[in-house]
């Protein structure tokens, strides 16, 4: 039984991943990135999200590994808290409440108990770098109010702050100057670029800064594409800088490799440049990364880099500049022209993706499937270039046809328009271009729709354009003596008094075509292409048009720009009802009569679900989003839900997704947050238990021994506490109900005795280790050995008396013999 809570708006597709630099874990297995109010932990190998760390109440603005414990992660947020996480298990360890908005976070291994954050104190645009002392406390929530001021009047972006040379100084850039604060001397040096006084060449403002990990060297990126390497900056007079210039546009981010031998830079060119030895000659490139590089980060182990891109992806790159994995969210780089569509074949959501591509996004698994390259031209990312835009797309005939429209308009009169019709080839399981139409219309195409009636014998496509015509394209036989082929040709051109055609829409059975010409709706017979009738309400231009479905197929709905929603009856050719509603999105549900309309008001967007047959809405939800909703779509469910209450019935067969102006994809969910939260508590199903390998024996034990030796030398009187749970006396004392316990005096001696350490423990432990060492010499990669060692360890744990030691050695010998036998057998088998 489905629990019926109130319907809530849920985000899917994730927030942007490229807001801040991604951070690698110490072993490069995981990568962390901020995503809205969460921190996401991805595996660098499989590109899968391992954990989502949620707990912040507002945008997370910075993450850093804990320099003192590389299994922990600090994050800061606009909600004024710094949180410490155990990222392996996805658990929140501690919360430090700072109290003011935190804009970035930095950690330093030298500053043990404090972290650095960027705050803005009094005025809204003046930011300060302060150090926050994190008090040691066992409680979950700690107040951390001890702020000490480091630098004032800095840039808000964390890219403009860098700590250098093991925390000796901090460099900050803003506009035309670089300031370096030395922690020991507590002085600030300020270097101003000479040309900044000359306003003509004022394109060399600083954009980002990075510090060499070991040397006194600061690299700064500039607006004009130059990278400056600053040295000798201890002296205000004698400082020098060298210039590296490859980028032709702004340097977006810089990063030094772990050893400092190379510098990485990236920008709008979508090329990662590696400057080796900080010289201009010695550089390597990784080109064609697809979108502007916004951030670069380097793993502490030094084997991986990663770049965050403006199209919401993170590319993980090997040290040898080879991309190894892509973590791709919903592409959010550009505006969405095509709207939301569903590919009938893959059931994926389709919308504009990378430039010139359609992205296919799986809603079930909430990740991108692939990008379909429609324009097939090398994308040159440069400021001021007018690109070919993919403006319209539609699927027809159960996914067998895809129509795309691309346009490029440099000037008012120079419109380049192209329509492509792709056929899905079942043999090769991919789209093949069937017909390419240059300039299908004289002006922009405003609407595109296929006739998706089930029994239409001939695929039909209608395009409506601002040039005042709508064209009907049909698939015809195009074969000649050389080949058998089909191709699309224009079948009919229609117009209505030179008005601009703004929308078109086929009725469910495909018998009628409705085309709106500004304020007028015209109905055409799809067999003879005769104008059947016109509707005109004089209520502004028609913005949306759709036919009713199933039992409501006799209705036609139109939403106008003046905020009127009209419903016409096609049988009586009269207005059935109208309502005052400023409709932004109107989408029919393919599986029911329902139509969803989203209206826009000054406070937010409201959802109305209604049937065309009655003007009373089935369901209203106010304030689904604060922003303007741009597109919406109903997605048929694979398995229908069974909501019984009337308010949710519209969600039974389809799910409604909508996209806001800031390109967050949202949907409606009926499950309560609590219900969803509970299973997360029982996170991992199984503990990790991997059998020990020979390497583990060599390395692991060795290290353990060293540690022990160290301990012995440091503290000779180290008391080894026995494990409490192994002592029966203690467990009896603790677990027996109070009312059946004997008197305390009786228990006392037993308890104290149990806590005493027997002297033999040590020797008992050392012997088996020696045996281990012996055994390693002959150890082979076989499973039997593992059994053996485990048994030895078991016995050594439990053994406390001297007599057991003897038994142990005997049993060991036995095992050893057995082991040898097995070992020989194994060799023989070879």
Check: CB of residue 416 under 8 Å from CB of residue 388. Answer: yes
Looking at the DSSP assignment, which residues form a beta bridge with residue 431?
424
Distance between CA atoms of residues 9 and 671, nearest Å: 10
The minimum distance between CB 507 and other proteins, in angstroms, equals 22
Q: Which of 1, 385, 603, 685 binds other proteins (CB under 8 A)?
A: 685
Q: Which of 139, 438, 645, 713 binds other proteins (CB under 8 A)?
A: 438
The minimum distance between CB 637 and other proteins, in angstroms, equals 9
Q: Which of 77, 204, 307, 368 binds other proteins (CB under 8 A)?
A: 368
Which positions ≥6 away from 104 have C-beta within 8 Å? 20, 61, 62, 76, 117, 118, 156, 157, 158, 161
Instruction: Classify burial at 479, counting beta carbons within 10 Å of its beta carbon; exposed 0-12, middle 13-18, buried 19 or more.
Output: exposed
Q: Which of residues 493-522 bind other proteins (CB under 8 A)?
A: 493
Distance between CA atoms of residues 585 and 627, nearest Å: 13
The minimum distance between CB 431 and other proteins, in angstroms, equals 4
By CB under 8 A, how many residues form the interface with other proteins?
A: 107
**Residue 335 engages other proteins in binding (rule: CB under 8 A):** no
Closest CA to 334 of 311, 363, 318, 313: 311
Q: Which of 527, 571, 603, 690 binds other proteins (CB under 8 A)?
A: 690
**Residue 287 engages other proteins in binding (rule: CB under 8 A):** no
**Residue 4 engages other proteins in binding (rule: CB under 8 A):** no
For strands 102-106 and 91-97, give the pairing. Answer: unpaired
- Which structure tokens are listed for 817? 């013999």
Distance between CA atoms of residues 717 and 757, nearest Å: 13
Q: Which of 121, 203, 626, 762 binds other proteins (CB under 8 A)?
A: 626
The minimum distance between CB 297 and other proteins, in angstroms, equals 19
Helix (H, G, I), strand (E, B) or coil at 343: coil
**Residue 524 engages other proteins in binding (rule: CB under 8 A):** no
Give the interface segment with other proteins, choosing from 127-135, 345-353, 458-466, 605-613 (CB under 8 A): 345-353
**Residue 765 engages other proteins in binding (rule: CB under 8 A):** no
Distance between CA atoms of residues 208 and 226, nearest Å: 11
Torsion of CA 406, 17, 278, 178, to 10 degrees: 110
**Residue 378 engages other proteins in binding (rule: CB under 8 A):** no
**Residue 532 engages other proteins in binding (rule: CB under 8 A):** no
Distances (CA, A) of 623 to 148, 287, 391, 596, 627: 42, 44, 29, 15, 9
Cα-Cα-Cα-Cα dihedral sign, residues 773, 777, 779, 781: positive
Q: Which of residues 396-415 bind other proteins (CB under 8 A)?
A: none
When the beta carbons of 641 and 732 are compared against other proteins, the nearer one is: 641
The minimum distance between CB 634 and other proteins, in angstroms, equals 16
Give the interface segment with other proteins, choosing from 45-53, 227-235, 293-301, 758-766 (CB under 8 A): 45-53
Q: Which of 691, 694, 700, 728 binds other proteins (CB under 8 A)?
A: 691
**Residue 631 engages other proteins in binding (rule: CB under 8 A):** no
The minimum distance between CB 366 and other proteins, in angstroms, equals 6
Cα–chain center distance at 249:
27
The minimum distance between CB 684 and other proteins, in angstroms, equals 8
When the beta carbons of 541 and 637 are compared against other proteins, the nearer one is: 637
Q: Which of residues 476-495 bind other proteins (CB under 8 A)?
A: 476, 478, 483, 485, 487-493
The minimum distance between CB 454 and other proteins, in angstroms, equals 13
For strands 91-97 and 141-143, give the pairing. Answer: parallel
The minimum distance between CB 599 and other proteins, in angstroms, equals 18
- For the chain, the straight-line distance linking the first and the last C-alpha, in angstroms and rounded, comes to 59
The minimum distance between CB 456 and other proteins, in angstroms, equals 18
Distances (CA, A) of 663 to 56, 343, 657, 755: 22, 20, 12, 64
User: How is residue 723 annotated by DSSP?
Assistant: P
Q: Which of residues 51-90 bind other proteins (CB under 8 A)?
A: 52, 54, 57-59
């Amino acid at each position: 039984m489905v629990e019926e809570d109130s319907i809530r708006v849920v985000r899917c597709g994730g927030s942007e991943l490229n807001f801040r630099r991604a951070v690698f874990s110490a072993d490069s297995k995981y990568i962390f990135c901020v995503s809205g109010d969460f921190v996401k932990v991805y595996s660098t190998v499989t590109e899968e999200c391992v954990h989502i760390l949620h707990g912040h109440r507002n945008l997370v603005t910075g993450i850093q590994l804990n320099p003192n414990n590389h299994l922990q992660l600090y994050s800061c947020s606009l909600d004024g808290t710094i949180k410490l996480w155990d990222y392996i298990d996805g658990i929140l360890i501690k919360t430090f409440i700072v109290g003011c908005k935190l804009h970035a976070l930095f950690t330093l291994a030298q500053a043990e108990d404090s972290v650095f954050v960027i705050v803005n104190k009094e005025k809204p645009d003046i930011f300060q770098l302060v150090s926050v002392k994190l008090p040691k406390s066992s409680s979950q929530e700690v107040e951390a109010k001890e702020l000490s001021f480091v630098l004032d009047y800095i840039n808000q972006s964390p890219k403009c702050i860098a700590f250098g040379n093991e925390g000796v100084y901090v460099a900050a850039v803003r506009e035309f100057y670089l300031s370096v604060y030395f922690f020991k001397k507590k002085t600030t040096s300020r270097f101003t670029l000479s040309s900044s006084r000359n306003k003509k060449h004022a394109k060399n403002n600083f954009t980002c800064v990075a510090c060499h990990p070991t040397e006194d060297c600061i690299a700064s990126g500039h607006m004009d594409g130059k990278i400056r390497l600053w040295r000798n900056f201890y002296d205000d007079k004698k400082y020098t800088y060298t210039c590296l210039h490859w980028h032709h546009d702004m340097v977006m981010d810089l990063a030094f490799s772990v050893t400092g031998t190379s510098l990485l830079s990236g920008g709008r060119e979508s090329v990662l440049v590696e400057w080796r030895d900080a010289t201009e000659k010695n550089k390597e490139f990784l080109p064609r990364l697809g979108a502007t590089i916004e951030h670069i980060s380097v793993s502490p182990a030094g084997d991986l880099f990663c770049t965050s891109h403006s199209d919401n992806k993170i590319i993980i790159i090997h040290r040898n500049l080879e991309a190894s994995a892509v973590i791709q969210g919903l592409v959010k780089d550009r505006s969405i022209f095509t709207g939301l569509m569903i590919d009938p074949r893959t059931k994926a959501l389709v919308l504009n993706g990378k430039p010139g591509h359609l992205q296919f996004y799986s809603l079930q698994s909430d990740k991108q499937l692939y990008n379909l390259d429609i324009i097939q031209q090398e994308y040159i990312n440069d400021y001021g270039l007018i690109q070919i835009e993919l403006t319209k797309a539609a699927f027809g005939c159960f996914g067998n046809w895809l129509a795309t429209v691309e346009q490029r308009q440099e000037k008012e009169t120079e419109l380049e328009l192209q329509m492509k019709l792709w056929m899905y080839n079942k043999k090769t399981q991919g789209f093949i271009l069937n017909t390419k139409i240059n300039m299908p219309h004289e002006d922009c195409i405003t609407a595109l729709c296929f006739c998706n009636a089930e029994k239409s014998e001939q695929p039909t496509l209608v395009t409506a354009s601002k040039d005042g015509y709508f064209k009907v394209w049909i698939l015809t036989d195009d074969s000649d003596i050389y080949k058998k082929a089909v191709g699309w040709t224009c079948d009919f051109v229609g117009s209505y008094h030179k008005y601009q055609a703004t929308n078109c829409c086929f009725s469910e059975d495909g018998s009628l075509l409705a085309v709106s010409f500004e304020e007028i709706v015209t109905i055409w017979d799809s067999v003879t292409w005769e104008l059947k009738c016109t509707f005109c309400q004089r209520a502004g231009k028609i913005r949306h048009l759709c036919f009713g479905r199933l039992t409501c197929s006799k209705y036609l709905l139109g939403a106008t720009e003046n905020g009127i929603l009209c419903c016409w009856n096609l049988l009586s050719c009269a207005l059935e009802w109208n309502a005052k509603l400023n409709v932004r999105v109107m989408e029919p549900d393919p599986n029911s009569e329902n139509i969803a309309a989203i209206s826009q008001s000054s406070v937010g967007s409201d959802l109305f679900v209604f049937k065309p047959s009655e003007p009373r809405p089935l369901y209203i939800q106010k304030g689904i989003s604060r922003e303007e909703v741009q597109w919406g779509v109903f997605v048929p469910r694979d398995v229908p839900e069974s909501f019984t209450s009337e308010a949710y019935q519209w969600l039974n067969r389809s799910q409604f997704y909508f996209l806001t102006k800031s390109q967050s994809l949202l949907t409606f969910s009926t499950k309560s947050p609590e219900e969803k939260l509970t299973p997360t508590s029982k996170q991992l199903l199984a503990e990790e238990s991997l059998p020990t390998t020979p390497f583990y024996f060599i390395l692991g034990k060795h290290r353990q021994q060293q540690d022990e030796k160290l301990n012995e030398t440091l503290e000779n009187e180290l008391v080894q506490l026995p494990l409490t749970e192994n002592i029966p006396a203690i467990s009896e004392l603790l677990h027996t109900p109070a009312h059946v316990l004997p008197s305390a005096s009786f228990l006392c001696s037993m308890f104290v005795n149990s806590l005493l350490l027997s002297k033999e423990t040590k020797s008992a432990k050392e012997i088996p280790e020696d045996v281990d060492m012996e055994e390693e010499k002959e150890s082979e990669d076989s499973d039997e050995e593992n059994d053996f060692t485990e048994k030895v360890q078991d016995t050594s744990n439990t053994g406390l008396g001297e007599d057991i030691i003897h038994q142990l050695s005997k049993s060991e010998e036995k095992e050893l013999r057995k082991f040898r036998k097995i070992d020989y057998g194994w060799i023989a088998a070879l």
